[in-house]
Amino acid sequence: MIGKIAETKQCQIKDPMDLFNSGQVVKICAPMVRYSKLSFRTLVRKYSCDLCYTPMIVAADFVRSAKARDSEFTTNKGDHPLIVQFAAKEAQVLCDAAHIVCPFADGIDLNCGCPQRWAMAEGYGACLINKPELVRDMVRHVRNQIDNPRFSVSIKIRIHEDLKRTIDLCQKAEAAGVSWITVHGRSVEERHQPVHYDAIKIIKESLSIPIVANGDIKTLKDAENVHHLTGADGIMVARGLLANPAMFAGYEETPLKCIQDWVDIALEHGTPFTCFHHHLMYMMERITSKQEKKVFNILSSTSAVLDYLNDHYGV
C-alpha cells in the first residue's frame, strides 16, 4: 500500500519547487557515486522518497563525449522529479550540460561539497565554497540560459569553519536565483565528526529560499529530529537509504518486500551484477548474521544470489 501511495503522489507532483511549497518536509535521495542510479532511484521512489539525484557527473566530460553521456545518465518516464548533479568549474560548461539534460530532468545541482582529493585538485566540489563569486556566476548563467522557469538550479555545499563565509556564499547564490541549497553540516576536513546541525539552522534563518539538511541521517526518526533541530525544508539521505531503501516509508530495517522489489527492478533494468550485489549487501547488513554475511558477500553470479535469497528468505 505504501508503494501505491508513493506512486500516486509521484504522478501529481513533478516540479521540485512544488514539493518545497507543499508544506511537507521533502524526502530526498542523495547523489551517491555508483549507487544512486536509475534502478536504485526506482526502488526508493516506491518507498516515499520524493526527490532523487543522479550520482555526480563531471560536466566537461558529459558535454564533450557521447560515450560519457550514455554511461553516466539513464532515466525513464517514472524517474521524476529528478535532479542531475554536476561537477563543474566553468559557467558555460555547466550551462551546456544543463541544456543537454533539460528535456529529461527537472533540475541540475552544482556539487560544491565533494571533499575527495581528486575533485578538489581538479577545481571541483568542496573547493568551490571558497569561490562564492564563481558559484554565483555559474548559477546566474544557467538561470539566464535555460528557458524553462520551472527547471531548478540548486547547489550542495559543506560549511566553513567561519560560518559567516558560508552565509555569504549562500546569500550570493540566493541573489543569483538558486532554487534551494543543500547543506552537509561538516567542514571539508571533517569526515566522521558530529554534524553541525546548529550551523544548518543559522543558514536556514539567514535565507528565504528552501534549505535541505544532509549528514548522518539513518532513520525516519533521525530525519524528523533533524527537521526540528534545523527548520530545514528537506532532508537528504545517503548511507541511511543504502542500508534501508524503505526508510522514508517508516520501516526500521529493510523489509523483505523491499528486497523482492530490488531484485525485480534490478533484473528488469539489467543492473550490472556488482551493483546489484552491493546494494543487497547494504540492505541485508542489519538482518543477516556474521556467518550468513560471509557466505552471501562472496557470491559471484546473479543466479547464485537469487538461489540464496530464495533458499533463505523465500524471495
Q: What are phi and psi of 61, to 5 degrees?
A: -65, -40
Whether 8 shows a pLDDT value over 50: the answer reads: no
Q: What are phi and psi of 28, to 5 degrees?
A: -125, 135
Task: Kindly indicate the confidence band of residue 15, based on its pLDDT and cuts at 50, 70 and 90.
Answer: confident
Burial class, 121, CB count within 10 angstroms (exposed 0-12 / middle 13-18 / buried 19+): exposed
Residue in 12, 33, 145 with CA at minimum distance from that of residue 81: 12
Residue in 229, 228, 248, 232 with CA at minimum distance from that of residue 240: 248
Annotated binding-site ranges? 31-33, 85, 184, 238-239
Higher pLDDT, 10 or 15: 15
* CA–CA distance, 68 with 147 (Å, rounded to integer): 25
Q: What is the CA radius of gyration of the chain?
A: 19
Residue with cell 529529461: 104
Annotated binding-site ranges for FMN? 31-33, 85, 184, 238-239
What type of residue is 292?
Answer: E
Strands (E), the chain: 26-29, 51-53, 57-58, 82-87, 107-112, 152-158, 181-184, 211-214, 234-237
Burial class, 171, CB count within 10 angstroms (exposed 0-12 / middle 13-18 / buried 19+): middle
User: Tens digit of pLDDT for each residue in 119-176?
Assistant: 999 999 999 999 999 999 999 999 999 999 999 999 999 999 999 999 999 999 999 9
Q: Are 43 and 37 within 8 A, CB to CB?
A: no
Residues of the chain with CATH 3.20.20.70: 16-249
Whether 13 shows a pLDDT value over 80: the answer reads: no
What cell does 75 get?
A: 532515466
Task: Kindly indicate the confidence band of residue 14, based on its pLDDT and cuts at 50, 70 and 90.
Answer: low
User: Tens digit of pLDDT for each residue in 196-231?
Assistant: 999 999 999 999 999 999 999 999 999 999 999 999
What cell does 174 get?
A: 540566493
29 is catalytic: no
Q: Is 219 helix (H, G, I), strand (E, B) or coil?
A: coil
Q: Is 209 helix (H, G, I), strand (E, B) or coil?
A: coil
Q: Percent of the chain scored above 90 by pLDDT?
A: 94
Q: Distance of alpha carbon 121 from its chain centroid, rounded?
A: 23
Burial class, 23, CB count within 10 angstroms (exposed 0-12 / middle 13-18 / buried 19+): exposed
Q: Are 98 and 145 within 8 A, CB to CB?
A: yes
Catalytic residue among 29, 114, 170, 258: 114
Whether 16 shows a pLDDT value over 90: the answer reads: yes
User: Which distant-in-sequence residues (6+ apart) come within 8 Å of 250 by Cβ?
Assistant: 2, 48, 220
- DSSP assignment of 35-60, as one string? TSSHHHHHHHHHTT--EEEPPPEEHH
Q: Are 107 and 16 within 8 A, CB to CB?
A: yes
Q: Are 186 and 157 within 8 A, CB to CB?
A: no
pTM, to two decimals: 0.94
The mean of the pLDDT values for the chain is 94
Q: Does domain 16-249 have CATH number 3.20.20.70?
A: yes
User: Tens digit of pLDDT for each residue in 19-67?
Assistant: 999 999 999 999 999 999 999 999 999 999 999 999 999 999 999 999 9
